[in-house]
């Protein structure tokens, strides 16, 4: 799916000029939603996950989260493209196979309940229990979060605590459930701003593994995004079905569905994106199929239910046309690029909420 997007990505100084031109011109269908405004809304929803300092710290430090010392396994969760995020989610969903169907187990060993994990400055690049620190949930654990330099994988020294993440066992007979609450502010002080409050649910049956997340995130400016994210793996054919719904305080509502299936010969994606805001809707519906010999794409863009553009043909040389079969302008192609990349960014960045699942599932 990404090859045809690269087809319209300009480079260097030309990129800035063309994107500016696209934003300065009207590319919306008559009386319909504005693609540039749509792209901005979609980017805003994605930013609630990617721009927050708490999630940036969680993403960088997720490989170091461990209830043992040294870490028993690296829970790396890359946010560097649809493929990387998809593979990380797939690993987490498959890890549910170690848990018994319909028989939730305790998520935490009894000896760590109520404990707080802080960064060990003596070396080794890990967290360890600090028994002198109180306040962790009695049914779970607390990890302090620290400022991590851009591109870094460990806190800067001297340590700068910026928040904490509380993980609690909320399991029921129906599901293994991990409660997650993230606070922004010095964890040595009381209070703090809630950046996220959600639950991770892992359900295993004889035919599927499902990992889902339900709750909300808030950026440091107070904008809230509610979400319901689901990833279901069919154990018979390894097909991954993604069904994500996000609702922003601005009124924007997004729904994304991906069916990702692979065989020894073919890798296929089916994509359905739906955006709704202020009475306008945008739909991106299509498929992509990759084989050893060739790759094809067939995507339709609809504004307020009316077809606006299509992308068809080979992924290496796709054809962009409007509803009348005419070629799109470069500005219109860029509008398509902005919208679809925005949806992919949401899939990519929102999946960071699953990072704590690797600690217990």
CB 301 within 8 A of CB 26: no
Q: Lowest mean pLDDT: which of 7-11, 190-194, 232-236, 343-347?
A: 7-11
The more confident residue out of 9 and 126 is 126
pLDDT per position as a tens digit, 33-78: 666 677 778 777 877 887 778 888 988 898 888 887 554 444 455 5
pLDDT per position as a tens digit, 281-332: 989 999 888 876 678 889 998 988 989 889 888 877 788 898 888 988 887 7
- Report the pLDDT averaged over residues 184-202: 91
The more confident residue out of 333 and 119 is 119
CB contact set of 241 (below 8 Å; sequence gap of 6+): 230, 231, 232, 233, 234, 257, 258, 259, 260
Q: Is the pLDDT of residue 90 over 80?
A: no
CB contact set of 288 (below 8 Å; sequence gap of 6+): 1, 4, 268, 269, 271, 295, 296, 297, 298, 299, 315
> Over the chain, what is the mean pLDDT?
80
CB 57 within 8 A of CB 162: yes
The whole-number pLDDT of residue 303 equals: 87
pTM (two decimals): 0.85
Residue with tokens 């069904």, as numbered in its chain: 243
The whole-number pLDDT of residue 322 equals: 87
- Report the pLDDT averaged over residues 21-44: 61
Q: Is the pLDDT of residue 171 over 80?
A: yes
């Amino acid at each position: 799916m990404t090859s045809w997007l690269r087809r319209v990505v300009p480079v260097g100084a030309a990129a800035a000029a063309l994107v500016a031109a696209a934003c300065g011109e009207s590319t919306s269908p008559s009386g319909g939603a504005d693609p540039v405004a749509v792209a901005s809304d979609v980017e805003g929803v994605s930013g609630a996950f990617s721009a927050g300092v708490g999630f940036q710290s969680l993403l960088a430090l997720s490989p170091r989260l461990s209830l043992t010392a040294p870490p028993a396994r690296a829970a790396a969760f890359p946010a560097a493209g649809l493929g990387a995020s998809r593979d990380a989610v797939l690993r987490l969903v498959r890890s549910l196979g170690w848990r018994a169907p319909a028989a939730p187990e305790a998520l935490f060993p009894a000896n760590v309940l109520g404990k707080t994990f802080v960064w060990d400055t003596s070396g080794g690049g890990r967290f360890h229990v600090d028994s002198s620190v109180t306040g962790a949930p009695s049914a779970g654990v607390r990890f302090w979060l620290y400022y991590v330099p851009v591109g870094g994988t460990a806190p800067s020294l001297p340590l700068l605590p910026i928040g904490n993440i509380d993980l609690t066992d909320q399991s029921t007979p129906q599901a293994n459930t991990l409660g997650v609450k993230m606070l922004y502010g010095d964890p040595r002080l009381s209070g703090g701003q809630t950046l996220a409050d959600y639950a991770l649910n892992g359900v295993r049956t004889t035919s599927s593994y499902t990992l889902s997340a339900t709750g909300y995130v808030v950026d440091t400016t107070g904008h809230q995004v509610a979400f319901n994210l689901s990833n279901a793996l069919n154990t018979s054919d390894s097909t991954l079905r993604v069904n994500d719904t996000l609702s922003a305080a601005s009124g924007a509502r997004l729904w994304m569905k991906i069916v990702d299936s692979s065989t020894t010969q073919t890798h296929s994606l089916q994509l359905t994106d739906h955006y709704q805001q202020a009475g306008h809707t945008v739909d991106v519906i299509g498929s992509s199929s990759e084989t050893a010999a060739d790759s094809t794409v067939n995507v339709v863009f609809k504004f307020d239910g009316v077809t606006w553009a299509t992308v068809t043909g080979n992924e290496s040389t796709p054809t962009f046309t409007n509803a009348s079969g005419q070629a799109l302008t470069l500005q219109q192609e860029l509008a398509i690029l902005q919208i679809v990349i925005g949806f992919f960014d949401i899939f990519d960045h929102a999946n960071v909420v699953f990072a704590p699942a690797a600690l217990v599932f």
